[in-house]
Structure 1
Amino acid sequence: MTRPAYLQPRTLVLLILPPMMWAGNAVVGRLMVGSLPPVAMNALRWLLVGLMLMPLSMRIWGDMAAIRERWVYLAAIGVLGVGTYNAMQYLALQTSTPLNVTLIGASVPVWMMLVGAVAYGQRLHARQFLGAALSILGVLLVIAQGQWEVLRHVRLVPGDLLMLLASLAWALYSWMLARPPAAMQGAARPDWDWAAFLQIQVLFGVIWAGLCAAVEAFMAGGVQPPVWPATWSTWAAMIFIAVGPSILAYRCWGLGVQAVGPTMASFFGNLTAIFAALWSAIFLGQHPRWYHPVALLLITAGIAVSSASTRQVRNGAGHDEA
Structure 2
Amino acid sequence: MKKGVLLLVLATILWGGNYICGRYLAPALPATLLNTIRWAISTFILWALLALNKKKFPIFSKWKELLILGFLGIFAFSTLNYLGLRSLSASYAGMISAGIPIAILFFTPLFLKEQIKAKSWFGALVSIVGVILLVQGKQGGTTYASMIGIVEILLSCLAWGVYTVLGKKYGSKIDPLTMTAGASFYGTILSAISCIGTVHPDMIHMTATAWFAVAFVSTLASVLAFFAWNAGVKIVGPALSAPFINLLPVWTVVFGVLLLHERFSILTLVGGVITIIGAILATYRRPENKKMKNHAKAS
The TM-score with structure 2 as length reference comes to 0.85
Distance change in 2, residues 1:113/1:26 (3 Å): same
Equivalent of 1:93, from 82, 85, 91?
Answer: 85
State which of 17, 21, 34 in structure 1 corresponds to 2:10: 17
Q: Which residue of 1 aligns with 2:159?
A: 169
After superposition, residues 1-322 of structure 1 pair within 5 angstroms as: 5=1, 8=2, 10-58=3-51, 63=56, 66-145=58-137, 157-180=147-170, 185=172, 189=173, 194=177, 196-217=178-199, 222=200, 225-226=203-204, 230-307=206-283
CA distance in 1, matches of 2:119, 2:273: 17
The 3-state SS of whatever aligns with 1:216 is coil
State the distance in 2 between where 1:61 and 1:204 align.
Answer: 21
- What letter is aligned with 1:211? I
Task: Find the counterpart in structure 1 of residue 297 from structure 2.
Answer: none
Secondary structure class of the residue paired with 1:41: helix
Gaps of 5+ in 2: 289-299
Q: Distance in 2 between matches of 1:252 and 1:298?
A: 27
Q: Is the partner of 1:69 in helix, strand or coil? A: coil
Shift of 1:79: 1.6
Name the CA shift for 1:265/1:312 in 2 (closer, same or farther; >3 Å).
Answer: closer
Following superposition, the deviation at residue 201 of structure 1 comes to 1.8
Structure-2 change in CA distance of 1:155 and 1:136 (3 Å): farther
Deviation, structure 1 residue 257? 1.4
Tell me the TM-score normalised to structure 1 length. 0.80
Q: Is the 8 A contact 1:144 1:156 kept in 2?
A: no
CA contact (8 A) 2:87 2:146 kept: no
Partner Cα separation in structure 1 for residue 14 and residue 66 of structure 2: 25
Flag the 1:297–1:62 CA change in 2: closer, same or farther, 3 A. closer
Structure 1: distance between partners of 2:250 and 2:97 = 13
Equivalent pairs, count: 288
- Overall identity of the aligned pairs, in %: 23
Aligned partners of 2:77 and 2:156 also within 8 Å: yes
| In structure 2, C-alpha distance between the alignment counterparts of 1:67 and 1:121, rounded to whole Å | 28
Displacement after TM superposition at 1:42 (Å) = 0.6
1:119 to 1:54, Cα distance in 2 relative to 1, 3 A: closer
4+ residue runs over 6 A deviation: 59-62
Once residues 242 and 55 of structure 1 are traced to their aligned partners in structure 2, the CA distance between those partners, rounded to angstroms, is 14
- Are 1:53 and 1:199, in contact at CA under 8 Å, matched by a contact in 2? yes
Unaligned runs of 5+ in 1: 314-322
Distance change in 2, residues 1:178/1:234 (3 Å): same
The aligned residue for residue 319 of structure 1 is: none
* One-letter amino acid of the structure 1 residue matched with residue 183 of structure 2: Q
The residue matched to 2:196 in structure 1 has which SS?
Answer: helix
